[in-house]
Structure formats: structure tokens, C-alpha cells
A and B are shown apart, each in its own frame.
Chain A
Amino acid sequence: MAEGAEAAAEAIASLSTSDAPSKNALKKELKKKQKEEEKRKKEEENMKKKAAEAANPQSQKALAAADDEDMDPTQYYNNRLKVLSSSKEVGVNPYPHKFQVSMTIVEYVEKYGSLSDGEHLKEVEVSLAGRIMNKRASSLKLFFYDLHGSGAKVQVMADARDSDMDENEFSKYHAGVKRGDIVGITGYPGKSKRGELSIFPKKFIVLSPCLHMMPRQKAGPSVANASAKKNEERPTPYVWVPGMTRNPETYVLKDQETRYRQRYLDLMLNHEVRQIFRTRARIISYIRSFLDNLGFLEVETPMMNMIAGGAAAKPFVTHHNELNMKLYMRIAPELYLKELVVGGLDRVYEIGKQFRNEGIDLTHNPEFTTCEFYMAFADYNDLMAVTEQMLAGMVKELTGGYKIKYHANGVDKDPIEIDFTPPFRRIDMIEGLESMANLDIPKDLSSEAANKYLVDACAKFDVKCPPPQTTARLLDKLVGHFLEETCVNPTFIINHPEIMSPLAKWHRSKPGLTERFELFVNKHEVCNAYTELNDPVVQRERFAAQLKDRQSGDDEAMALDETFVTALEYGLPPTGGWGLGIDRLAMLFTDSQNIKEVLLFPAMKPQDEPSSKA
């Protein structure tokens, strides 16, 4: 600790001596700076007086408010820039190289949270660093701050009597500290008489000034309090955990454009946001260790391909200059992963980005993250068991139970409960559709008759299917209307027709169907898996059929990949293959209705104006 303080002091000392200007110039600058400081101080004191007059015992809050809130943001920014350049002119680097932290704020709260009210540990020295999110001046000799870092908060009680600065210096320095500044503090731990854990600084250094006025919660002084008030059933201080509901409408920073474009502000001001991304990281890490424990090998396959295969979607196109080669961003890693199984890696998986050149909406981003795994000698029945085990296990680990709350109908309606208790419900696709909609679909789904029957069925139930009205698309719409709508708790829709599943193996006992399942949760597809088609002859026929759909205008039909079919000719063992949309899963566990909530930097439409300085 002592070392840390020394290092910090040293850093500053060495900074002030490096490329030092002449003594005279330095003196001049100092004088100039002093004058400016005095002027500023006067102004501030005036403002404080005013505020003190205006308010009564609550003058603390009024002082803090007067500090920034009255100023125009541009003027505020320009003032800050001026302070920066004047400190640079006198050879003080406003951005020190290093501050040695002795513990995180989380650790500090853990270690000293149990002090009794009014207890001070003056002999202990601790160095903390973080961002000032609230400032209250009690007098020129006493300042209170909220210091935020690593997801926790601690009060700073800066008393001139504890400081290594003299009183004058102290008041001046602290008058220049703004909400939003990142500071390093070396001091001793203690609790205020009212029982608030605090740090009492001996040294207080601004490490990185915030040049902009920070957006502030109008309703109350602190974020945690505010959200606690709005969610009265929750204990205070409440900590959000996965599976709980969230309401971004109650956030300090509500504006979606700002939240998504300047995610750092979102993270600073809306404390749950950090937990969203922590949850996302935990989901991925859970999947990884789950698969590692089953003996799977994590691999990386190309994101740029000569042919975009393995799924039906519009790819992004790019160009390699030196090779003069057109490349597609991958839409799925499926074909490469199966090639590796052919090569003898019996259990492989990849967690990574896929890219689809499609519109942006509440559930779609042009790049998204999936996990795909391939398991030799297993079939889709095995994979359903694996899926249940993985997802139920994950929910249990993240939330402690099997049930999560989700605002399926918007944040203004009551949340629904989604139950991940295994086993999950199973619906046979065609049988289910027939019984649900009272249909009798012709058995030969590739026939004209079947197509006509489904066109009529769609018309009858007013299910829209924009052209091309291929049988696969018609079925997809009907299934969406009748079956997916019922899948709130995790449900497997199984045994898709061959025409909808060009890479899945024909069903061992039901002609025309495949051994495939999709897992739906809250009416959205989360997983897609099948017993892999490994007969190269049949695979080639399926690709040919896709080509036919392509020619009839379905540009989402799959393209033929010869290298892949050749791989099948060398022999792909019986294999179960599985894909999971990680963003969708993250949305469910974080009560997010918009995929942008779970992406740090979602794709945004271009703005007409440069990003707002919030």
C-alpha cells in the first residue's frame, strides 16, 4: 500500500519535472493558473452561497446541483478543456501514468462492511480508484463523494484535516473535482456515524478528468435508491441476478440511441447493464465447460468462405485484393465442422460469430453469436437429452432454480414465468399441425397437391406467406402460427419434413420426414439440431432440390458445396449436430425484449448528426 502511494507520488513528481519549461515561464503560468483558480473559486463560492440561501438544511444537495447542473453543456466542456490545457501548460499531466490500487471497491466493501458505526481504522492504509458519480460539498473543508468501481460503490469523506494538502490547497483541489472524474484515493477505512462505509482520503488524485457533463438522474440522488423505490418488493440494496425482471424505463439513462451508441455511458449510469454482460459471459462459459466435460474439442473454422453454406440466408460479400478473390462472410460453420468430424475429430464445437445480410429488428443483428457442436455416433434423440441437461443446468446455475421471469408482453404488463424443468415438451411437427389446425396434409410433401393444399390452408386461416409460396415456406408459416405460438416453456418441435431440412437425415421410420428438432422458448427458436445427413448421394439430391427452390425465387435456398459433398464421400460417421443462438438465450435470462440489450455494440442505423455528447 505504502508502495502504491509512493509510486503514485513518484509518478506525479516525475511528470512535473519531465520536459519542464524554464523557471520564469513556469512562474508565470503558475500565477496565471492561480488567478484563474481564484476567479473560479470566487464564482463557485458565489454559486454556493446562492444555493445555500435558496435551500435550508438540505443545502448539501443544492450545492452539488449548483456545481454542474446550471451550466450549458458546451460551456461546461469548454471550461473543462481550459482547465486541462492550463494544467498542461504548467507541466502537470492531467493523465497520470499509473495509480497503484491496493484493492477493488468490491473487496473493500467486503472487508470493511462490518465495521461498527463511527469506527475508524486510522492505522490502515488503502488505495482505491474509481469514478466519482456524486459530489456533495458540506463546506470548503469537507467534501463527500460516491466512488464507483467494479460494480460497487463506496462513500468518500474528504476532510481537509485528513489530507496531506494544506487547507487552501485542499479546497481549491476539491472545487476542481467534477462528477464523472476518475480518481485515485489513498486513505483509511471507517464508517460514518450514520453507518455508511467510507474511505477517508489522505491523498486524492484525479487520474482522468471527465470533460462532459454526466447525465444525471433527476428523481433522486442515487441510482440504487431510485430503482429500489420503483421496485418496492425488492430488498434494498437490491442486486439484479439473471432470471429476474428488468425495466430499462426506470434507468438513469433511458434514451436508447445513447445507451446503445455510447455503451460506456450505459454501463456507467445503469448498473444492471454490467450484470447483463456478465450474465452473457457466464452463459458462454457454462456452455464451454459443459461441452469440455463431455470431451468436445473447441475449434475455429473460417469466417470468410468461397461459398456461404450450411444455412439459408443472404451472406455479406467482400473481396480479397491481393488474391483478387470474392469471399463471403460465413452464415453458419456447419459444413466445416462436419468436415472435421470426417477428419476424425469425433466431438467438436465452435462458439463464434455468424453474419447475415438481413434487416435489423428486435431479434436480428447482422452479426450474432452461435454455438454449434457435432457429436459422432449420436442421433437427435441423444441431442434432445443433451439440450435438456445443458439448458436446465445452466438456468439452475445462473438463477438457483429452473424458473425465470420474462416480460413477454412488454415491460408495462406483468412478466410471465418460463419453466426450464426437464424434460421439455415435444410436438411432432406435421402431426401437431394437423391436429391443431384440423388439417389432413397430403403425405407426399414434394407434390403439387401438397403445395396447393397448403396454399389453401394459409388462405383459410389468414396466415400470410409472401411469395415465393414454396411448400417449405408455407409449412413454416403455418407452424409459426399454430405451433410456435404455444411454445412458451421450452418445447421441442420435432421431425421436420425433408423439404425444409436439406442437411438433416431422413427419418428412420417416417417417410418424407427428417430426424430434426427445433427448441422453442417464449415462441422463439433457440436451438436447431438433427441427425446429420451423411449419405452423399442423398445430400447431392437435396442440394439439387434446393437449387430448384432457388430458381423459383427463394433466394434463401442453400447452395451446393462440392468440397463438403466430397467429404461425405469419404464417410461421415453417424453424427448428431446442434446449433444454439447465444444472443437469444442471453435475452431470455436478462429479461431483454430487444437483442440490442445483450450486444455491447449493436448495429445501428447511420445517424444524420454526429453522436450526441449526451
Chain B
Amino acid sequence: MMDALRVWRASSHLIGFASMAAAAAVPTASRTRFRFHQIRCCSSAAAAPAAATPAPATSDRRRRSPSSTSDRESVRAIRLKKVEELRSKGYEPYAYKWDRSNTAKELQDAYDHLASGEECKEVSVSISGRVIARRAFGKLAFLTLRDDSGTIQLYCEKESLTDDLFEQLKTFVDIGDILGASGSIKKTEKGELSVYVKYFKILTKSLLPLPDKYHGLNDVDKRYRQRYVDMIANPEVADVFRIRAKIVSEIRKTMESLGFIEVETPVLQGAAGGAEARPFVTYHNSLGRDLYLRIATELHLKRMLVGGLEKVYEIGRIFRNEGISTRHNPEFTTIEMYEAYSDYESMMTMAEEIVTRCALAVHGKLNIDYQGTKISLQRPWRRQSMHNLVKEATGVDFNEFGDNVEAAKEVAQGILRTKMEDKSDTLLGTCPSVGHVLNEVFETIIESTLIQPTFVLDYPIEISPLAKPHRRYTGLTERFELFICGREIANAFSELTDPIDQRSRFEEQIKQHNAKRAALTAESKSTEVQSGVDDYAYEVALDEDFVTSLEYGMPPASGMGLGIDRLVMLLTNSASIRDVIAFPVLKIQQ
């Protein structure tokens, strides 16, 4: 409660300084972030006409945007009193149920044809929703009701209402209340389709004033922390979650149509494998042992291939104990899929299939806009090897370095210096192989330039511990990552099936991890810098059970992981991952 109040106060101080409020709430806001806010403001303004009845400007505005906490408290006190009064009159201000015959949108669609002033006396409809606007005159009142589907006006006339309902409406109904209403249909003289109310009932009395659409919700932090307030103030926020559901559903449909079976593998594991990331640790009381939250679903899904399930997938939450940003939330959703007797070529087709089907389901077309950039998802997508992309951009062919890490580093430093001021030294310093150096150059120079969908192929073996060696190129693997708008969307490979090779790759991975940790610890001791060390302070264990499963024989297969949050960001034109996750993790409030 206190948290909420504090936020409210913070935002109310900034009324009238919308853009400043946004900037102040996120001191570290990047330029894109800032731009995003303006977009939100625009869109909410654009959505306003849909809420047909303009808010009664003066009187209500005052009530809806209290300038201090005490105002808010007094609103609550007044409304609590109304709750008591209603009860004393025999009305329950928190009703049990309401049978609605139609949604607002259904009515808007069905009676769109009515002429202004026309009435359908014979029909009887009932609807329910939240009051978002209210204008009361002597014997007439207009309310705007919003439900899941849209808005509709309630036309309330004293004579048409039973008993003392009109008085009740004037005395007890506030903006924010949830109302059920029934009556006939009428289009007003001004052409506004309305329910001509015969009966209504307060279903839920709200105690707090609705946030002010134009000011209150520029407080970014509050938007995410109290998502419900955000959604009440900006109905289009809910559209993102509707589209998200549609995308996930489309992915499922695609997988099922291809004969894949959905499975669930454990979140809590004895050792977190399948990726390189810092895991969350927890403790199981009755087992008396530490457990790790999964950082990938890969190793368990591959066991299913060994078990004879030839096409499996899992859509689920992954957890990584890493920083938060516009692209990272500690928990995020992926789909991982594995298919026996296929290779990474077929996973490229799969990636194209999934993304285009989702785009068509959401937009009905393959040319989309993301944050002002035109993206074409027309197939086929560009395919280029990592080596060639780097060579194209820098003129350096990393094949020529052979195993000579030092030579590679020297050249890489030259390339990166222009781009990264002086951080390149530390980045490259810990690179144990030419493959790592190449990857560093790729990530720094190339990644952000891959705007149109691009499959980056054939990653170095040193940074791909679970991928099968390339059938033609020594030192490379049959692996690709898919980039759109400079972001990695998917990661896939022909799966490594050789248990002996797998074991030695794991051992190498652990060796590298420990070396990096040791190097950073030594460095921090000399420089007193603690950051960075922490990132590697966890243990990496070899998953013996997984290697054993490979020893029983895994069919040749390919697999892919695809980030669902990032796909939703792309297809909903959302700048931050926080816009596509209903309740993102936020810093603790001071």
C-alpha cells in the first residue's frame, strides 16, 4: 500500500510535465525507450475517440486527478461511506453475478445500421463493464461502459428507470464502478449507439479514483508495478497481451500440425545445463539440497529423443540470474523443439514457418513496421555464414588465423577500438580461442546491423558446445542464429549426438568457465573492481545423466530455441520486453 501511495505522489507532482515524468522515472532511459513513451501517449490519445462520450471535462477531472495523497484518501473515505449506505438500503455493493447477453462490441456491430434517434424497443439486452465516463443532468444521465471488447454508452432517463434507480445512479455511481445494465437499444440524436437503460445494478463499487489518462500513467514504474491501473487507463495495453496469446496459440497450432508433442520438463534441477548463464539457486527443505532453476530446456528434451519421442517441444519459462534491461527479464518464455532425423537446414525452414505464420495471424501481411523500421518477412530469408559476415564488414578473414589466438586478438582489437572506446581489451582478454574472438567481433560489429531477417550460419565449435561438427568445415558447427532488428530471435543446430565428443566439449566448457572466473577474481583483487567476477561466481557441473542418455543412442536430430517474448515484441511493435510481459521484474522501490 505504502508503495502505491508513494508512486502516486511522485506522479502527481509531475502532472503537466508528461515527458519529464517519463524521463525522471527512468534516469537511465535510452533514446529508444523515450521514443516509446511518446508512441504510447499518441496511441492512447488516438484511442480516445473510441471512448465515445468525451469525459466531462471540468467537474470530473478535478475528482479524477487528486493532487495529493489526502485527496485520494478522502475519495476512498467518501466511497466507503457509499458502500455502507448501499448496504443499509439493502443493496450489496459487491454483487455475486451478472448475466450478460452481449458484449459492447457485439452490440456495436449488431446495431450499427440504426439511424440517429432510432430505437429498438422490442429488444432486451444486458451488458456489464466499468464506468469510464459519466455525465448527469436533471433527468438524464449518460454513462460510458467499457468491457473486454470495447465501450458502449448507457442512456439513462429518469422516467424509464424502475423505482428510485435514477436517484441511486446520481448519488452512488462513480467513475470506476463496475455496473450491470439492461434495457433496449437506441441510437441517440448525436448518433451514439446506446443501451436505453431500464434497470442497472452496481456490481462492484470502486474505492479509488481511476488514474488520469493523460498524466498519471506516464509513471513508467507504476505502469509495470500496477499493471491493472495501466490497463484501465490505456485499454490498448491489453491488446498486446491479446496478441501475445494469439502468437503462442499460433505457434502451438503450427507445432501440432507438424506432429510435435508438447511435454513439460522440470524447472527445478540438480544442475542447470543446456546454456551458459548464471542460474537462480534455491533450497529444497525436505530433500535438504540446493536446486537450480532451469536456464534452458535443451538437455531434458533431448533425453526424450533418446526415449523415442521423435518430435517434441516445450513452451515454458526459463530463468537467468542476470541484469534487467529492455531486452532482458529474469524469467522469460521460450519454445524449444527437437526433431529426429532432421538437421539444421530443416530448422531454418521451421523458423521461417513459425515467424511468418505468426506475422500473418497478427498482421495479415509479411511487411511489418518495428519502431519506425520496415521489416520484410518475405521468404526466403538471407543466409550467410558468420565468417563471411565478419569478412564482409571488416575485410578480415578469420579462417586465416588458424589456431593463433594472439594474432586474432591483435587484429580484432584494431577493429573493435574504433567501435568501443577501450572496453575491447577486457572483452577480448578472456577469449580462449579464435572462435571466441570472432564471436566477439561479430557481436560488436555485425549483430546490430542485421535488421532484415538473417540466418547467421556455422558458428565456431568453441562457442557451440551442444552442436554437431560441420559435415564440411573443420572447426565449425552446423548451427545458426536468426536475427531480426539486430536481435537474436532463435538459436538452432544439428544436435551433437556423439557422447564422447559431448563429454569432452562439456569438460572444455567447464575449464573455460573456471579459467574465466579465476582470471576475473585475480583481476578484481588487483583492481578492487568487483563487477564481472560475480557473473562467473557460480559452478558449472557436467550433466552425467545427459551424457549417459547419449550413450544409449540419440537419433540424428536438430533442435531450435526461439524467444517468444522477443517475437511478441517484434510483432506488437513494442520497444521493451516489459511491454510484453504482464508483470515484469522491477528493482525494489526505495
A584 to chain B, nearest CB (A): 15
Please provide the chain A residues from 298 to 320 with a CB less than 8 Å away from any CB of chain B in the complex. 298-304, 306, 314, 316-320
Q: Which residue of A lies closest to B79 (CB)?
A: A569
CA distance A200 to B273 in the complex (A): 42
CA distance A268 to B210 in the complex (A): 59
Whether A322 contacts B341 by the Cβ 8 Å rule is: no
B: residues with CB less than 8 A from A are 1-4, 76, 80, 83, 92-100, 128, 130, 146-148, 176-178, 180, 203-208, 210, 225-232, 235, 237-238, 241-242, 244-245, 248-249, 252, 256, 261-268, 270, 278, 280-287, 289, 291, 293, 300, 303-304, 306-310, 316-317, 319, 321-324, 330-331, 333, 340-343, 468, 471-472, 474, 478, 494, 497-500, 534, 544-545, 548-549, 551-556, 581-583, 585, 587-588
B504 to chain A, nearest CB (A): 13
Q: Which residues on A sit within 8 Å (CB–CB) of B322?
A: 322
A266 at the A/B interface (Cβ < 8 Å)? Answer: yes
Q: Which residues on A sit within 8 Å (CB–CB) of B4?
A: 562-563, 566
A14 at the A/B interface (Cβ < 8 Å)? Answer: yes
CA distance A64 to B177 in the complex (A): 78
Q: Which residues on B sit within 8 Å (CB–CB) of A84?
A: 500
13 pairs, CB–CB < 8 Å, chain A vs chain B: A97-B494, A182-B554, A208-B553, A264-B549, A268-B307, A300-B317, A318-B281, A320-B321, A329-B282, A340-B241, A344-B148, A377-B99, A566-B226
CA distance A534 to B97 in the complex (A): 12
CB-CB under 8 A for A603 and B287, given A180-B552, A265-B307, A323-B587: yes
Whether B556 contacts A95 by the Cβ 8 Å rule is: yes
Q: Which residue of A lies closest to B149 (CB)?
A: A346
CA distance A547 to B451 in the complex (A): 54
A372 to chain B, nearest CB (A): 14
Whether A377 contacts B261 by the Cβ 8 Å rule is: no
Whether B307 contacts A573 by the Cβ 8 Å rule is: no
Q: Which residues on B sit within 8 Å (CB–CB) of A569?
A: 76, 206-208
Whether A18 contacts B331 by the Cβ 8 Å rule is: no
Q: Which of A25-33, A219-227, A355-363, A449-457 lines the interface with chain B?
A: A355-363
A343 at the A/B interface (Cβ < 8 Å)? Answer: yes
Whether B100 contacts A377 by the Cβ 8 Å rule is: yes
Q: Which of A235-243, A278-286, A423-431 lines the interface with chain B?
A: A278-286
Q: Which of A99-107, A138-146, A154-162 lines the interface with chain B?
A: A99-107
A248 at the A/B interface (Cβ < 8 Å)? Answer: no
Q: Which residue of A lies closest to B534 (CB)?
A: A321
Whether B228 contacts A182 by the Cβ 8 Å rule is: no
A566 to chain B, nearest CB (A): 5
Whether A347 contacts B96 by the Cβ 8 Å rule is: no
> CB-CB contacts of A71-112 with B at 8 A, as 1s and 0s?
000000100010011000000001111111100100000000
Q: Which residues on B sit within 8 Å (CB–CB) of A346?
A: 147-148
Q: Which of A51-59, A463-471, A482-490, A604-612 lines the interface with chain B?
A: A604-612
CB-CB under 8 A for A570 and B210, given A322-B322, A342-B228, A344-B130: yes
Q: Which residues on B sit within 8 Å (CB–CB) of A536?
A: 207
A201 at the A/B interface (Cβ < 8 Å)? Answer: no
Whether A343 contacts B238 by the Cβ 8 Å rule is: yes
Q: Which residues on A sit within 8 Å (CB–CB) of B545?
A: 261-262, 611
CA distance A211 to B228 in the complex (A): 56
Q: Which residues on B sit within 8 Å (CB–CB) of A566?
A: 1, 4, 208, 226
Whether A320 contacts B261 by the Cβ 8 Å rule is: no
CB-CB under 8 A for A99 and B341, given A262-B545, A574-B98: yes
A498 at the A/B interface (Cβ < 8 Å)? Answer: no
Taking a contact as CB atoms closer than 8 A, the residue among A15, A316, A376, A379 that contacts B283 in the complex is A316
Taking a contact as CB atoms closer than 8 A, the residue among B94, B249, B310 that contacts A298 in the complex is B249
CA distance A321 to B472 in the complex (A): 43
> CB-CB contacts of A473-501 with B at 8 A, as 1s and 0s?
00000000000000000000000000000
A264-B552, A508-B92 known; 10 other A-B pairs, CB under 8 Å?
Answer: A184-B341, A268-B306, A302-B585, A344-B130, A355-B268, A360-B287, A377-B99, A377-B203, A505-B96, A613-B551
A382 at the A/B interface (Cβ < 8 Å)? Answer: yes
Whether A378 contacts B97 by the Cβ 8 Å rule is: yes
Please provide the chain A residues from 522 to 536 with a CB less than 8 Å away from any CB of chain B in the complex. 531, 534-536
Q: Which residues on B sit within 8 Å (CB–CB) of A300?
A: 244, 317, 333, 581-582
Whether A302 contacts B583 by the Cβ 8 Å rule is: yes
**Most B-side CB within 10 Å, residue of A96, A300, A535, A606:** A300
CA distance A101 to B583 in the complex (A): 44
Q: Which residue of B lies closest to A346 (CB)?
A: B148
A559 at the A/B interface (Cβ < 8 Å)? Answer: no
Q: Which residue of B lies closest to A328 (CB)?
A: B282
CB-CB under 8 A for A95 and B548, given A321-B278, A343-B230: no
Taking a contact as CB atoms closer than 8 A, the residue among B97, B99, B552 that contacts A265 in the complex is B552
Whether B544 contacts A570 by the Cβ 8 Å rule is: no
A77 to chain B, nearest CB (A): 8
CA distance A325 to B280 in the complex (A): 12
> CB-CB contacts of A170-185 with B at 8 A, as 1s and 0s?
0000000000111010
CA distance A99 to B249 in the complex (A): 31
CA distance A261 to B180 in the complex (A): 55
Q: Which residue of B lies closest to A101 (CB)?
A: B341
Q: Which residues on B sit within 8 Å (CB–CB) of A379?
A: 96-97
CA distance A184 to B341 in the complex (A): 9
Q: Which residues on A sit within 8 Å (CB–CB) of B587?
A: 323, 325
Q: Which residues on A sit within 8 Å (CB–CB) of B286?
A: 357-360
Taking a contact as CB atoms closer than 8 A, the residue among A261, A320, A352, A601 that contacts B317 in the complex is A352
Taking a contact as CB atoms closer than 8 A, the residue among B93, B98, B225, B304 that contacts A600 in the complex is B304
Taking a contact as CB atoms closer than 8 A, the residue among A18, A101, A285, A537 that contacts B474 in the complex is A18
Q: Which residues on B sit within 8 Å (CB–CB) of A208?
A: 497, 553-556
CB-CB under 8 A for A353 and B556, given A531-B96, A563-B225: no
Whether A323 contacts B263 by the Cβ 8 Å rule is: no
CA distance A613 to B588 in the complex (A): 48
Q: Which residues on A sit within 8 Å (CB–CB) of B548?
A: 262, 611, 613
Taking a contact as CB atoms closer than 8 A, the residue among B227, B252, B303, B468 that contacts A343 in the complex is B227
A244 at the A/B interface (Cβ < 8 Å)? Answer: no
Q: Which residues on A sit within 8 Å (CB–CB) of B471?
A: 11, 14-15, 18, 97
Taking a contact as CB atoms closer than 8 A, the residue among A81, A181, A281 that contacts B262 in the complex is A281
A411 at the A/B interface (Cβ < 8 Å)? Answer: no
Q: Which residue of A lies closest to B262 (CB)?
A: A281
Taking a contact as CB atoms closer than 8 A, the residue among A266, A319, A531 that contacts B280 in the complex is A319
A579 at the A/B interface (Cβ < 8 Å)? Answer: no
Q: Which residue of B lies closest to A572 (CB)?
A: B204
A212 at the A/B interface (Cβ < 8 Å)? Answer: yes
Q: Which residue of B lies closest to A506 (CB)?
A: B94
A270 to chain B, nearest CB (A): 10
Taking a contact as CB atoms closer than 8 A, the residue among B83, B340, B499 that contacts A211 in the complex is B499
Closest 4 CB pairs of A and B: A267-B307, A343-B231, A571-B206, A264-B307
Q: Which residues on B sit within 8 Å (CB–CB) of A180?
A: 552-553
Q: Which residue of B lies closest to A17 (CB)?
A: B472
B132 to chain A, nearest CB (A): 10
CB-CB under 8 A for A344 and B238, given A211-B499, A264-B303, A377-B128: yes
Whether B96 contacts A281 by the Cβ 8 Å rule is: no
A557 at the A/B interface (Cβ < 8 Å)? Answer: no
